[in-house]
Amino acid sequence: AAEEARRQEEAAAAAKEAEERKEKEAQAERERAVEMKRKNLELERRRTQEELKQRRLREEERRKAEQEYRFQEAKRKEEMRRVEEERRLADLAVEVEETAHKLPAMHRGGTEVPGFNSLLGYALALLYVARHGLREQELW
């Protein structure tokens, strides 16, 4: 009977030990699962942060490129305006040069005509301009 009691105690101790082992293994498994979940969350957080960083960099580059484009466009428009103004002035100078021979010397500021600076001289010059289609600016 004592031996059977001892066997039962050993069996109970072995069962208790097996149950403790199972419990320890289950606890270790839960800890591994928690650790894996924590690692996965950490990796996901890092990946998300990296994506945000990349997105910010792309946005910054896009903004800089857009700003540079606007600057270049404004510069180009200003250059075109300047070139157009120069071309217009050059055309006007050529037109004045080409039409200068149509005016007699007295109407081009010649001093050999007496009374040219008078009102009559001015009126004669304007009549000539009106008849030949020249602008007053070209006269003076």
Question: Cα(127)–Cα(103) distance, rounded to whole angstroms?
Answer: 11
Task: Give pLDDT tens digits for 10-24.
Answer: 899 999 999 999 999
7 SS3 class: helix
Task: Give pLDDT tens digits for 63-115.
Answer: 999 999 999 999 999 999 999 999 999 988 888 777 766 666 555 555 555 55
What single letter denotes the amino acid at residue 105? Answer: A
Phi, psi of 79 (to 5 degrees): -65, -40
pTM here is 0.42
Please state the separation of Cα 24 from the chain's center in Å.
62
DSSP type of residue 22: H
What single letter denotes the amino acid at residue 1? Answer: A
